[in-house]
Amino acid sequence: MYLSFYQLKEEPFRLTPDPRFIHFAEPHRKAFLMLVEGVVRRGGFSVLSGAVGTGKTTLLHTLFLVLGRKFVGDRKISSAFIVNPMLSREEFLEYVLQELEINCSHTTKPRRLLALHQSLLETQRRGATTVLVIDEAHLLSPEVLEEIRLLNNVESYGEKLLQVILCGQPELEQTLAAPRLSAFNQRIAVRTKLRELSVSETRAYIAERLHVAGLRDASPFPPALVEQIHFCSEGVPRLINLICDSCLSLGFKTERKILGSDEIGRAHV
């Protein structure tokens, strides 16, 4: 609606986890590098935590994009992305097999585990790796977490055949710290967290998304307004997106190229 008015090619503040719009602020850059290293070095378990709206899912999609460029041809990465982890142990194993496109006509657990093991070994022989990413991992039950630990026990000469990334809200760390999950907790090779953005990071975040969306003229968000946006959003990227999108819509309706406090006051978040 406001694209032509602000000379944009696409909406800069959509809530979809588009890797093109990722902004590598300090916590995101650090987390991304740690996750890449964990997968490439086949460390086994990696845990990414962060509050709601801090950009965890976008970071994961960016990770897959980068890994897809590293593992190409016959070495193509094998991956599974689970976004609804509220499953039983049996359902979880079935979901993993389907996501990894492993054909197994048998319904017994031993035969399914054997099919998974054979697939993991074949992927390793190709020089690639298998990555299992579980989003919203704070919703996993202790029973399914134990199942994941057992799946991750598959090794070849001390190298983990399955790389598992658990991504969730801060409660995930509390869950993993439970005494009954001590065996799991001890096997985590990478732990990293995302935090809210600072004022300067918020300024860079807004500017970069506008640039990716096609803006080449002056930003419609002056410095004073950016500070207000940071205050209202508390530096949470998702809230920044909602506020900025609402401000652009209101600015278009009132034909204001440079936005101000009025738009912030009327923004619906």
pLDDT band of residue 154 (cuts 50, 70, 90) is confident
Q: Which of 144, 146, 131, 149 is nearest to 67 (CA)?
A: 131
Q: Mean pLDDT over residues 209-225, rounded? A: 94
In which residue are the tokens 């401000």 written?
A: 247
Q: Mean pLDDT over residues 167-194, rounded? A: 93
What pLDDT sits at residue 125? 87
Distance CA 117, CA 11 (A): 44
Pairing of strands 155-156, 159-160: antiparallel
79 burial via Cβ count (<10 Å: 0-12, 13-18, 19+):
buried
Read off the DSSP letter of residue 14.
-
Distance of CA 158 to the CA centre of its chain: 28
What stretches of the chain show up as alpha helix (H) in DSSP?
Answer: 26-40, 56-70, 89-99, 109-125, 142-151, 171-176, 182-185, 199-212, 223-233, 237-253, 261-266
Lowest-confidence segment of 23-37, 69-83, 191-205, 249-263 by average pLDDT: 69-83
Distance CA 81, CA 72 (A): 19
What pLDDT sits at residue 41? 86
Q: How far is CA 7 from CA 20, 155, 252, 260, in A?
A: 19, 54, 11, 19
Tens-place pLDDT, residues 54-94 = 999 999 999 988 887 777 666 778 888 999 889 999 999 99
Distance CA 102, CA 162 (A): 14
Q: Which two tokens stand for residue 228?
A: 């207000």
pLDDT band of residue 27 (cuts 50, 70, 90) is very high
Tens-place pLDDT, residues 155-169 = 665 678 899 999 999
What pLDDT sits at residue 72? 65
Q: Which two tokens stand for residue 68?
A: 């897809």
Whether the predicted pLDDT of 107 surpasses 60: yes
Length, in residues, of the chain: 269
Whether the predicted pLDDT of 104 surpasses 70: yes
DSSP characters over 183-240: HHHTTEEEEEEE----HHHHHHHHHHHHHHTT--S--SS-HHHHHHHHHHHTT-HHHH
Tens-place pLDDT, residues 4-15 = 999 999 999 999
Tens-place pLDDT, residues 114-144 = 999 999 988 888 888 899 999 999 999 999 9
Q: Mean pLDDT over residues 94-116, rounded? A: 87
Whether the predicted pLDDT of 267 surpasses 70: no
